[in-house]
Structures are given as structure tokens and as C-alpha cells.
């Protein structure tokens, strides 16, 4: 007898049972759906929100197939696209500007499947459709941000050396520092050079005869800063997409100053576009508690050295012009709770921590404000034409008294829960090194993707049917076992892709077909070794055992070398190549599991328990 260990058989059965459950949502397919979220940021909770929209649609004779709340958004699923679009128009007409309505697809899986948290494989842009964005990076703004940062650092450096100056002005190509005493010019040059030794310093004089130091960036520095801004924006946009949960997104450089973003299967297009294009940062400033902010607002005269802001309730706040720390010096930001209230826990880099430590030590008992700055480009209608307008919003989100000395770790309070989460997400993902503006936005419909799916599935079915027929004819009963193992392999691969949230693309379908071919190859190696052992005169039981043991090395070598190639493709490939590599790599692992353990389990159950075997049907 040639019994396979019971625990291995039970392990294989348990894994396949779990795989069947995980792969189950893929059997139901998807249907057109609407996903609704509130533009004011509030989340939908409970059945009441669902009933509100169902009643509204039923009154217009638009009946959704099903509706439910998921992650604070209402999802309404419909039978076809015309019904979906009609429902969107009805909801938009009922409350204009209130809801963000995303046309998407939802699984047809029943409620009990959704309650288990099971999801089908996500599809890539070529299969599911989605949104394609092209952003243009304001490289001139990147250079301007560098000059503004240098201005702040120069002010601190000159004050640290007790060098008096009249002004530091930012020009298009550099900075102009005007000194009060010409005798301090060389000392000033040394202090400025210590901040950044790579800039060009030129001494001069202004129209009034005052000594000046002109600071400029050379062409190489400007070009380096522009390239850095583009690469930093690619990283930041990629991090923001990943934080939003958009699977298999592609963020790549396009041309000299553009970035292309592909978002397959977008859940809420309006929210994604809104968050990606924002340039959000923070500034920490001391509050001018001696001047009256209300008087400054009414008179329009702001005291020297201060700037007028408004908090979130619209009240005026006077802040010192000197910035303590900016968002560029943040290294981490996490949404948390402080005494039961939403807060953002902030961590600064070394330089920012030193400045915050100095400021809090010198200003104990004085108020400090946190300014949230958000910049984006909006399309507005002017004289009957759409015009791009840069919009900047600056508001004080928190004013708190400095009650203790702190440096690189502290918390920001005074935020709503959703605001805190969004602020932490934006800051943690990394500030954009320069503003980005949408220059192209295309919605890719799912019709072409469905045609690709149909053709891909048809090719997979025809190829698999021909393969199954060949194996059944050539290897008899053992060929039928191989066919069962191939089905197990496809089920296990589908389950893994669904579990990991990997997006299936057209190259991914090719990867599945290649996996099926490699799985057949593994079974053929095993069966040919069994045939060889039988020709050498070994007993059927000995032939089965030797066939699996001697074929193991050849199967492992072939699959491991292919796995290495798949890993390399994943590390260095982009877009479709990476999708192919993921499916191929996971498929190799499932092939090894099913071909070795699955085949041995089934063959052991059918022939391994027999005391004598006259002939093996192989």
C-alpha cells in the first residue's frame, strides 16, 4: 500500500475549501451601481440613509436591485446602465451639489457573502474602465517654494548673528537682502553662505545706496529643483492613491513636466481627483496677542510684522509673519484621539524640532496658531469660457496656549474627526513639492474592457477544454486527476488574487493561461516518471512514490527559475507588466502546491489504499 499521510490530505482539503469560499464572489459578476457620499464630509450611517434614496428613486419609478451602506457611503446597484444613469439624474436633481455621485460597479454577491467581507478580484483599467488623469507640474512654483524656504532660513541666520537688515525680497530668479550697515556685508555673506553654500552670492547696492547681497540659483540648480519637484510629486501622488485604497494604480512621468495617473475601478472619482490635486501644508506661527484683530479687520490696517487670518468660524486672528515650522519639516502625521477628541499627532525633523523647542522655551504662556494652507486649480466660467483659476485657502485651524516646552513631537487639536483623518492622510503621504493642475481627464468606459474579458475568458475556456481532452485521452484516468488538479489550481489562484486585492488586467489573464500550461507541465513530468518506473518493472505503488519523488527536482527547478523572472518583472516593471508578474508569481506557488500535494492526495485516495494494483491507468 502507498498511503499519503492523512494530515497532508486534510491540509489540502482544508486549503481548497477555504479557496472555494474566497473565490466565490467572482462567480456572481458585477452590475452597474452608484456610490454616494456627502460633499460636506459627513458619513452615512444605518438603514435610514439607504431608505431615503430608495424612496426617492421608487417615486420616479427607478428601482435599484439592492442598496447598502459600506464605509460611510451608500451603494445602489441596478440592472443596467440606462437605469443607473437615470437614477443619478434623479438624485442630482433632488439635492444639487449635496452629494458626490460616482458611477461604478458593484458585486452581485448576496448579502451573506458581503457580510463575510469577501470581495471579487478587482479589475485593471483595461478591463474595468476607470479614470485617466494627466497633471502638469508647476515647475516655476517649485523654484519659488525653494526661494521662500531660503528667505525664512536667511532671516533666522541673520538674526542669529545679530546682523540688522531692512528687507529680504524674493525676485523671479533669486533673493535680495538689503542690509542697514555696509560694514556687516562680509559677515552677512558668511552667514548666508552657511545656510546653502551652493547658491551664488553677489554684493551690490540699491537705489538708495544701501548695501545688498543678491542671491541667485544657477541653471543647474534650477533644473535640479524642477526634476526633484516632479519626482517628489510622483511619489506623493502615488502615496495618496495608495492611502485612498485605489488598487493597481499607475503614476508615471510623461514628458518634461507632466504626470500621468491611471485609476482603474475608482470608487469615488470626485473625491480622488479632489484629494490628488491638493497642495496642502501647515504653518506654525505665534499669535500677536497685543494687537486687536477685529480692529485690524475693520480698519484694513494690519500692524507691522503681522498678517491677518481667519479661523474656521470666520473670526479674525492676527499672526506673526515669522513662520516657526512649515509642513515641509513634518516627517509623520497620525490621526488619533486626545482626551476623547479628534487630534493629529505630528512629528518634526531635527531642524524643525530645534526651532519648535527654541520658540516654546521663549514664549511660554503665549498663544500659538496652526495655519492650514490648501491650494488647487479650479475651472470657472468667465465671459462664457472656462478659465483655470488658482485658488488658495488659508485658515487657522487651532490656537492654543504654549503651556510647556516641546520639540519634535506634539499634537494638533480642534479638528472634526473626518478633517483630522484627511489632514493626517495628506501630510503623511508627503506634501507636493510644487502645485499640480489637471490638463487632461478621460473617463474610460467598461464596454471595451468587457469585450476584453469576454475574449480572454473564451480563450481560457477553449484552451482549457482542449487541454482537458488531451490529458483525458493520453493519460486515461490519471489525466482526469490532472484535470481536477488544474481546476483546483485556477480556484486557488483566483482566491489568492481576491484575498490580496490584486487587480486583474489583460496581461493578468495571459498570466493565468500561462499558469495553467505550467501546471500541466508539472503533472506531465510526474506521470512520465511513473510510466518510466513501470517500464523498469517496479510495482505500481513503488512507481507512484518514485514518480513524485524523482520529478520533484525538475518541477522545482523549472518553477523557481520562472518565479525569479516574475519577481524581477515585478520589481522593475510598471503597469501591465507588473500585473502580469503578480499573477505569474502567485500562479507558480499555487501550481507547486496543487501539482505536488493535490495530485498526490487524489491519487493516494484512488489507488494508494489498494493492497494490490494490477495496472495503473496512466
Domains contained in the chain, CATH given? 6-25+447-608 (1.20.1640.10), 30-108 (3.30.70.260), 139-221 (3.30.980), 280-415 (3.30.1360.200)
The vertex-376 CA angle with 373 and 380, nearest 5°, equals: 130
Give pTM, 2 decimals. Answer: 0.59
For 181, residues 6+ apart whose C-beta sits below 8 A from its C-beta are 164, 211
Block residue for cell numbers 516518471: 529
The vertex-550 CA angle with 544 and 552, nearest 5°, equals: 100
Name the phi and psi angles at 66, rounded to 5: -155, 165
Tell me the per-residue pLDDT of 214-232, one tens digit each, with 9 for 90 and over: 888 777 777 877 787 787 7
Complete DSSP assignment for 279-313: EEEEEEEEE--SS-HHHHHHH--PPTTEEEEEBTT
Number of H helices, E strands in the chain: 17, 22
Residue 519 contacts residue 595 (beta carbons within 8 Å) = yes
What are the C-alpha distances in Å from 448 to residues 102, 129, 451? 20, 8, 5
What's the confidence (pLDDT) of residue 319? Answer: 92
Please tell me the number of Cα atoms within 13 Å of 308 on its side-chain side: 17
Question: Roughly what angle, to the nearest 10 degrees, separates helices 269-276 and 417-429?
Answer: 60
Highest mean pLDDT among 82-96, 131-145, 319-333, 487-501: 487-501
Q: What is the DSSP letter of 596?
A: I
What CA–CA distance (Å, rounded) separates 72 from 517? Answer: 43
Max CA distance (Å), the chain: 112
Block residue for cell numbers 499607475: 250
Q: How many residues does the chain have?
A: 618
List the one residue out of 6, 17, 24 whose CA is nearest residue 494: 24
Per-residue pLDDT at 311 exceeds 80 = yes
List the one residue out of 16, 12, 11 whose CA is nearest residue 492: 16
Residue 376's SS3 state is strand
Helices (H), 256-411: 269-276, 293-299, 350-362
Per-residue pLDDT at 115 exceeds 50 = yes
Residue 608 contacts residue 4 (beta carbons within 8 Å) = yes
**Rg, Å, the chain Cα set:** 32
Tell me the per-residue pLDDT of 414-430, one tens digit each, with 9 for 90 and over: 667 766 776 676 555 55
What CA–CA distance (Å, rounded) separates 67 from 58? Answer: 13
What CA–CA distance (Å, rounded) separates 47 from 33? Answer: 18
What CA–CA distance (Å, rounded) separates 575 from 260? Answer: 12
What CA–CA distance (Å, rounded) separates 477 from 617? Answer: 6
What CA–CA distance (Å, rounded) separates 239 from 233? Answer: 10
Query: Which of 3-7, 174-178, 357-361 has the lowest average pLDDT?
Result: 3-7
What CA–CA distance (Å, rounded) separates 350 from 356? Answer: 10
Task: Return the C-alpha torsion angle 140, 141, 146, 149, nearest 10.
Answer: 150
pLDDT band at 39 (very low <50, low <70, confident <90, very high): low
What's the confidence (pLDDT) of residue 574? Answer: 66
List the one residue out of 511, 337, 518, 346 whose CA is nearest residue 426: 346
Query: Which of 245-259, 383-397, 440-454 has the lowest average pLDDT?
Result: 440-454
State mean pLDDT over 247-267.
Answer: 74
What's the confidence (pLDDT) of residue 116? Answer: 80
Report the percent of the chain where pLDDT is more than 70: 84
Name the phi and psi angles at 170, rounded to 5: -95, 125
Block residue for cell numbers 498511503: 3
Amino acid at each position: 500500500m502507498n498511503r499519503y499521510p492523512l494530515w497532508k490530505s486534510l491540509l489540502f482539503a482544508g486549503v481548497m475549501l477555504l479557496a472555494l469560499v474566497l473565490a466565490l464572489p467572482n462567480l456572481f459578476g458585477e452590475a452597474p451601481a452608484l456610490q454616494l457620499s456627502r460633499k460636506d464630509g459627513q458619513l452615512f450611517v444605518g438603514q435610514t440613509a439607504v431608505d431615503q434614496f430608495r424612496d426617492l428613486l421608487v417615486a420616479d419609478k427607478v428601482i435599484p436591485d439592492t442598496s447598502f451602506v459600506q464605509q460611510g457611503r451608500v451603494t445602489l446597484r441596478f440592472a443596467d446602465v440606462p437605469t443607473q444613469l437615470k437614477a443619478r439624474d434623479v438624485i442630482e436633481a433632488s439635492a444639487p451639489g449635496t452629494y458626490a455621485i460616482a458611477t461604478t460597479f458593484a458585486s452581485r454577491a448576496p448579502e451573506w457573502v458581503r457580510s463575510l467581507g469577501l470581495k471579487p478580484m478587482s479589475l485593471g483599467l483595461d478591463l474595468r474602465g476607470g479614470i485617466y488623469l494627466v497633471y502638469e507640474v508647476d515647475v516655476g512654483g517649485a523654484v519659488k517654494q525653494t526661494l521662500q524656504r531660503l528667505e525664512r532660513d536667511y532671516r533666522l541666520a541673520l538674526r542669529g548673528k545679530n546682523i540688522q537688515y531692512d528687507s529680504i525680497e524674493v525676485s523671479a530668479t533669486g533673493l535680495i537682502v538689503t542690509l542697514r550697515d555696509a560694514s556687516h556685508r562680509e559677515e552677512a555673506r558668511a552667514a548666508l553662505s552657511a545656510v546653502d553654500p551652493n547658491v551664488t552670492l553677489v554684493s551690490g547696492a540699491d537705489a538708495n545706496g544701501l548695501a545688498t547681497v543678491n542671491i541667485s540659483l544657477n541653471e543647474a540648480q534650477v533644473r535640479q529643483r524642477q526634476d526633484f519637484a516632479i519626482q517628489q510629486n510622483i511619489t506623493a501622488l502615488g502615496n495618496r492613491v495608495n492611502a485612498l485604497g485605489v488598487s493597481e494604480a499607475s503614476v508615471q512621468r510623461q514628458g518634461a513636466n507632466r504626470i500621468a495617473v491611471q485609476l482603474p475601478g475608482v470608487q469615488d472619482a470626485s473625491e480622488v481627483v479632489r484629494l490628488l490635486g491638493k497642495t496642502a501644508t501647515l504653518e506654525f506661527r505665534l499669535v500677536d496677542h497685543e494687537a486687536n484683530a477685529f480692529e485690524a479687520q475693520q480698519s484694513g490696517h494690519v500692524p507691522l510684522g503681522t498678517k491677518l487670518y481667519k479661523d474656521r468660524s470666520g473670526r479674525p486672528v492676527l499672526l506673526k509673519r515669522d513662520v516657526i515650522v512649515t509642513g515641509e519639516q513634518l516627517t509623520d502625521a497620525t490621526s488619533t484621539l486626545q482626551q476623547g477628541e479628534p487630534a493629529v499627532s505630528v512629528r518634526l525633523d531635527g531642524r524643525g524640532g530645534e526651532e519648535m523647542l527654541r520658540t516654546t522655551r521663549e514664549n511660554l504662556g503665549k498663544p500659538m496658531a496652526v495655519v492650514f494652507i490648501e491650494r488647487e486649480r479650479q475651472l470657472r466660467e468667465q465671459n462664457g469660457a472656462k478659465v483655470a483659476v488658482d485658488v488658495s485657502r488659508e485658515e487657522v485651524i487651532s490656537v492654543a496656549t504654549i503651556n510647556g516646552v516641546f520639540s519634535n513631537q506634539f499634537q494638533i487639536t480642534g479638528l472634526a474627526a473626518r478633517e483630522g483623518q484627511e489632514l493626517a492622510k495628506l501630510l503623511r503621504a508627503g506634501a507636493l513639492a510644487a502645485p499640480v493642475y489637471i490638463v487632461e481627464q478621460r473617463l474610460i468606459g467598461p464596454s471595451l474592457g468587457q469585450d476584453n474579458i469576454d475574449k480572454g475568458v473564451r480563450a481560457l475556456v477553449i484552451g482549457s477544454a482542449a487541454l482537458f481532452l488531451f490529458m483525458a485521452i493520453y493519460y486515461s484516468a490519471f489525466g482526469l486527476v490532472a484535470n481536477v488538479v488544474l481546476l483546483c489550481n485556477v480556484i486557488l489562484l483566483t482566491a489568492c488574487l481576491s484575498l490580496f486585492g490584486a487587480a486583474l488586467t489583460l496581461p493578468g489573464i495571459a498570466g493565468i493561461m500561462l499558469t495553467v500550461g505550467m501546471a500541466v507541465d508539472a503533472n506531465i513530468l510526474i506521470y512520465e516518471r511513473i510510466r518510466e518506473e513501470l517500464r523498469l518493472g517496479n510495482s505500481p505503488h513503488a512507481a507512484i512514490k518514485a514518480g513524485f519523488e524523482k520529478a520533484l527536482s525538475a518541477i522545482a527547478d523549472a518553477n523557481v527559475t520562472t518565479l525569479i523572472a516574475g519577481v524581477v518583472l515585478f520589481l522593475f516593471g510598471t503597469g501591465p507588466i507588473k500585473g502580469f508578474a503578480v499573477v505569474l508569481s502567485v500562479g507558480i506557488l499555487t501550481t507547486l502546491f496543487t501539482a505536488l500535494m493535490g495530485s498526490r492526495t487524489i491519487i493516494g485516495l484512488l489507488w494508494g489504499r489498494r493492497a494490490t494494483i494490477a495496472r495503473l491507468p496512466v
